[in-house]
C-alpha cells in the first residue's frame, strides 16, 4: 500500500457453452493512514548457535553408533 484512500476490487466471471456468466461483484476497501511499529525479534547469540550445533551433532553421532 502506498497511501491512504479507497480501492474497489471487481470480480467477474465469463460464461461458456455450459454456464451463464456470473454477475460482477465489487468490494470497496478503505485504507486509512496510521502509524506502525516494528518490534525486533530476539535472536540467538553465536555461542548458543554453536552449542546447539554441537548438541545436535552429538545426538546424531550417538544415534548412528
- pLDDT, one tens digit per residue, over 13-65 is 999 999 999 999 999 999 888 877 778 877 878 888 889 999 999 998 888 87
pLDDT of residue 1: 65
What is the distance between the alpha carbons of residues 50 and 33, in angstroms, rounded to a whole number? 44
* In-domain check, residue 5: yes
Number of independent structural domains in the chain: 1
Whole-prediction pTM value?
A: 0.42
* In-domain check, residue 49: no
Which residues, at least 6 apart from 12, have a Cβ–Cβ distance to it below 8 Å?
21, 22, 24, 25
Task: Give the end-to-end CA distance of the chain in Å, rounded to a whole number.
Answer: 56
Query: Residues 33, 4: contact at Cβ < 8 Å?
Result: yes
Q: Which residue has the cell 502506498?
A: 2
Stated length of the chain: 65
Comparing 3 with 56, the larger pLDDT belongs to 56
pLDDT of residue 61: 83
Owning domain of residue 8: 1-36
Amino acid at each position: 500500500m502506498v497511501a491512504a484512500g479507497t480501492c474497489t476490487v471487481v470480480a467477474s466471471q465469463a460464461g461458456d457453452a455450459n454456464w451463464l456468466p456470473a454477475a460482477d461483484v465489487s468490494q470497496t476497501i478503505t485504507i486509512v493512514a496510521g502509524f506502525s511499529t516494528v518490534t525486533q525479534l530476539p535472536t540467538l547469540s553465536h555461542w548458543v548457535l554453536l552449542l546447539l550445533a554441537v548438541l545436535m551433532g552429538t545426538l546424531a553421532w550417538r544415534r548412528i553408533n
